Amino acid sequence: MNKPTVFTGAATAIITPLTEGGIDYDRYGAMIDWQIEAGIDAIVTVGTTGEGSTLSDEEHRAAIKYCVERVNHRVPVIAGTGSNDTAYSVDLSRYAASVGADAMLLVTPYYNKATQKGMIAASVAVADAIDKPCILYNVPGRTGCNMLPKTVAEMAEHPNIVAIKEASGNMSQIAEIASLVEGKMDIYSGNDDQIIPVLSLGGKGVISVLSNILPAETSLMCKKFFAGDVAGARRMQLDYLELINTLFCEVNPIPVKAACAAMGLCENYVRLPLTPMEEDHRQNLLRLMRKAGLNV
């Protein structure tokens, strides 16, 4: 089964610049352009980091369409279209496909959860409905359910299910997935602190939060690894570890929104139930951003 690789390297799980009035498209467009000019390998729109869960349906669709048009085929665009309502996910995925998204990111059903059988049925329903690549997204810390390696392996047989973003944090589980799906599915790290470990298991890259503020560096980390400079890639992983951890000291995307705001990329505005970053945490984040060479 010869499946397409959606991207190799670093994809930014891009923030959605918001104001009280809605999406700030001027800043969204500028952010997209800067990411691509910096050498990022793909863009994921309206995922977790893009606050897709609190966008209205109209905003969600508009953001996908805008991102696709602004990117204009410069890099792949992956649309976050997963939901705990499978019918909605199918409908949104069809829309994203119709406006030109290159692939879909399908989070496991959250809150109502699902059995392993239900996870398969939900993902296959979307994959059957569109002629676009689908990337599974396993993030049990948010969804309350864990997609097991055997479940992933079963879905790897579907021609449109081409990859998984693995954010369980469990390297043993990721290794088992790699063993079971080798040659049938690509693996992307869903955690910035595990980029190099996942690449060492045959991963194709990362869907990153860090790259919102360090796109060139996150992409370079992957490029170094793929070029055989494993020591250099490992050094970058470790050098950025404290900054990465601080970007998750409060629930994502609270810290990265604060970081982007400090860089003038957006307002420091997140929608309820999220609230702006605590000031002591923000000051520590700014310190680490300066240490990484950012002018904030």
Q: Which residues belong to the active site?
A: 137, 165
Secondary structure letter of residue 190 according to DSSP: S
Residue 100: exposure state from Cβ atoms within 10 A (0-12, 13-18, ≥19): middle
Whole-Å CA distances, 16 to 139, 252, 283: 20, 13, 22
**Per-position DSSP letters for 112-170, written without gaps between them:** S---HHHHHHHHHHHHHH-SS-EEEEE-HHHHS----HHHHHHHTTSTTEEEEEE-S--
| In contact, 130 and 97? CB cutoff 8 Å | yes
CA angle 177, 182, 183 (to 5 degrees): 145
DSSP element (H, E) containing 289: helix 279-291
